[in-house]
């Protein structure tokens, strides 16, 4: 296990000293906008998870503080999410009655176990997981997720009360069935908030446009009760700071929850890393994936003891942080502190925000999440990668959000293996030699292709220029030995020229230096 250095233990030392009064003020306003978005969402996600609504707020305070202070992303904001909430409910509801004390305890214990699993992966530097999520997958996932979030907000925009659906296709189907029930004042209020947000974005991009739009919408509802008096508002709640929650460390219970903890912990990591990588590509930030994994684990470990259930990266809140111009992770810290403040003292004010206005502001965030320039560039540069992006996007719309990530990674790996299974081979002849210049590693996927190319050569000496062969696996070693013995029976020879020392050693290991049928030349 490789232990992190001092900067990894306290990553805030790398960015906190660079903050100025202007940047801190900016982050303070961005955090306020994020908190206003987080409050109603967190309450809704807690209900999806089968928890009392206040537990959604608790999950948006302590875990967010820890993840922002110990993470590496400037814009990743964590907290409760719909996907995580659904998985938690499915895992724990068979074991206890939802919203009961036993149920809450099981949820928090599962959160602790998932956090320990995530932290151990970070300590083992398993952050390389993010390397398997190609940029094309990120683009497709971001596009699809923006559509999914937008479809999920359309019922709120239209003044409809519809249950949450697992996929975008189901959400759209249900929405079409209830179009005749649209509430026009709600739609007008939501579209007005969206239009006002666009105006602020174009005319005054440095102003907290989303926050001002929400305030304006709340004032309209308050001033015109005859028109908008029936519009649904954010639910009122009794707030307090997150209470300490001692957890039972019962071995039998831990073993029972462990499989679910591993699954939901991995889901949270893949989602968080995908979002972090997407935003780091947009902001040109260098992301430390291992540090981010450790921060996710630590946030859930600590958060579980302060009544915060499992959190992961939030596309909506992270997108707001980026779009609103957050200067540092302080925006996330301020967001958590604002949530704590409003949870204690501002419940009455929050209850004046109209739900359709909230939906309109989220639609604006969804539009900003889509990397239009990146998608166009990908289409021009690589059609195969564009197909991967499209498949990921379609999977995001047809499947659950987390499943779409896995589908995109598999599609990306498929195209990678297809490309590497046919390495670039240049053939030439000089005297009694046929020379093959191989531009890639020889592994199980590429050995057959190279074998076919070798069997098409008929000169007495078959030379493989191995300067660009960085790696060879057992399948490649066995194939080259087989071809060398075939050529020897034909009184011909196989020669590896300018091979790297590591490649030579792998080829010699199979039968020893005395019996190796392959000749080497420098």
DSSP notation for 223-280: H-HHHHTTS-BPPP----PPPP------HHHHHHHHHHHHHHHHHHHHHHHHHHHHHH
DSSP H helical ranges for 441-511 = 447-455, 474-489, 501-509
* Confidence at residue 401, expressed as pLDDT on a 0 to 100 scale: 57
Q: Are residues 479 and 365 in the same domain?
A: no
Q: Beta-carbon neighbour count of residue 371 at 10 Å?
A: 19
Report if residue 168 sits inside a domain. Answer: yes
Does 336 share its domain with 213? yes
Query: Is 405 within a domain?
Result: no
The pLDDT assigned to 485 comes to: 93
Average pLDDT over residues 32-52: 80
User: Domain residues for 226?
Assistant: 21-379
Residue 149 inside a domain? The answer is yes
Q: Is residue 204 part of a domain?
A: yes
d(CA 60, CA 83): 16
- The pLDDT value recorded for residue 177 is 82
| pLDDT (tens digit per residue) in 450-460 | 999 999 999 99
Does residue 396 sit within a domain? no
The confidence score (pLDDT) of residue 395 equals: 83
- Residues 322 and 469 grouped into a single domain: no
The DSSP H or E segment spanning 463 is strand 461-465
Helix 101-123 / helix 251-283 crossing angle, nearest 10 deg: 60
At 1 the pLDDT is 46
Does the residue 142 lie in any domain? yes
Which residues, in sequence order, are CB contacts of 472 under 8 Å at separation 6+?
441, 442, 443, 480, 503, 506, 507
> What is the tens place of the pLDDT at every residue in 378-393?
888 888 788 888 888 8
Stated as kind and residue range, the H or E segment containing 439 is strand 433-439
What is the full DSSP assignment across 152-197?
HHHHHHTT------SSHHHHHHHHHHTGGG--HHHHHHHHHHHHHH
Query: In CATH, what number is assigned to the domain containing residue 427?
Result: 3.30.750.24
pLDDT in tens, 305-343: 999 999 988 877 888 788 777 778 888 899 999 989 887
pLDDT top residue among 231 and 104: 104
**pLDDT at res. 346:** 67
Indicate whether 210 and 321 sit together in one domain: yes
Query: Same domain for 332 and 460?
Result: no
Is residue 333 a part of any domain in this protein? yes
Q: Is the pLDDT of residue 111 over 90?
A: yes
Question: Residue 2: what pLDDT?
Answer: 47
Name, of 106-120, 287-301, 371-385, the range with top average pLDDT: 106-120
Number of domains observed in the structure of the chain: 2
The verdict on 339 and 453 lying in the same domain is no
Asked whether residue 296 falls in the same domain as residue 442, the answer is no
Q: Looking at the domain assignment, is residue 8 inside a domain?
A: no
CB atoms within 10 A of CB 268: 29
């Amino acid at each position: 296990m490789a232990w992190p250095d001092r900067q990894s233990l306290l990553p805030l030392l790398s960015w906190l000293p660079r903050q100025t009064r202007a940047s801190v003020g900016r982050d303070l306003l961005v955090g306020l906008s994020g908190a206003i978005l987080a409050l109603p969402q967190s309450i809704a996600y807690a209900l999806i998870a089968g928890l009392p609504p206040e537990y959604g707020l608790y999950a948006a305070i302590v875990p967010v503080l820890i993840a922002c202070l110990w993470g590496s992303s400037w814009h990743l904001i964590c907290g409760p999410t719909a996907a995580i909430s659904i998985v938690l409910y499915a895992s724990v509801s068979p074991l206890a009655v939802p919203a009961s004390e036993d149920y809450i305890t099981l949820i928090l214990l599962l959160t602790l176990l998932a956090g320990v699993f995530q932290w151990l992966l970070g300590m083992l530097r398993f952050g390389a997981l993010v390397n398997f999520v190609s940029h094309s997958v990120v683009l497709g996932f971001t596009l699809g997720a923006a559509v999914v979030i937008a479809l999920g907000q359309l019922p709120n925009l239209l003044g409809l009360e519809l249950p949450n659906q697992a996929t975008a296709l189901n959400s759209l189907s249900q929405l079409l069935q209830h179009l005749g029930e649209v509430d026009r004042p709600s739609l007008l209020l939501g579209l007005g908030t969206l239009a006002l947000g666009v105006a602020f974005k174009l005319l005054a991009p440095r102003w907290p446009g989303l926050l001002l739009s929400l305030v304006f919408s709340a004032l309209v509802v308050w001033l015109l009760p005859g028109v908008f008096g029936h519009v649904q508002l954010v639910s009122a709640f009794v707030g307090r700071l997150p209470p300490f929650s001692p957890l039972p460390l019962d071995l039998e219970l831990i073993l029972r929850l462990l499989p679910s903890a591993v699954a939901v912990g991995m889901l949270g990591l893949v989602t968080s890393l995908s979002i972090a990588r997407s935003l780091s590509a947009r902001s040109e930030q260098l992301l430390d994936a291992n540090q981010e994994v450790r921060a996710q684990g630590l946030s859930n470990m600590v958060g579980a003891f302060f009544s915060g259930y499992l959190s992961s990266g939030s596309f909506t809140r992270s997108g707001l942080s980026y779009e609103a111009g957050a200067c540092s992770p302080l925006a996330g810290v301020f967001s958590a502190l604002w949530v704590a403040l409003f949870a204690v003292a501002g419940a009455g004010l929050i209850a004046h925000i109209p739900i359709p206005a909230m939906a309109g502001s989220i639609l604006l965030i969804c539009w900003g999440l889509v990397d239009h320039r990146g998608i166009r560039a990908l289409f021009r540069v690589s059609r195969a990668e564009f197909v991967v992006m499209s498949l990921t996007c379609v999977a995001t719309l047809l499947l659950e959000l987390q499943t779409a990530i896995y589908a995109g990674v598999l599609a990306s790996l498929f195209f990678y293996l297809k490309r590497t299974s046919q390495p670039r081979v240049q053939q030439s002849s000089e005297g009694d030699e046929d020379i093959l210049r191989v531009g890639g590693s020889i592994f199980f996927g590429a050995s057959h292709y190279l074998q076919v190319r070798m069997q098409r050569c008929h000169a007495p000496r078959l030379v493989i220029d191995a300067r660009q062969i960085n790696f060879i696996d057992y399948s490649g070693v066995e194939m080259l030995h087989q071809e060398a013995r075939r050529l020897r029976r034909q009184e011909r020879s196989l020669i590896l020229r300018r091979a790297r020392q590591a490649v030579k050693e792998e080829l010699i290991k199979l039968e020893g230096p005395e019996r190796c049928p392959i000749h080497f030349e420098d």
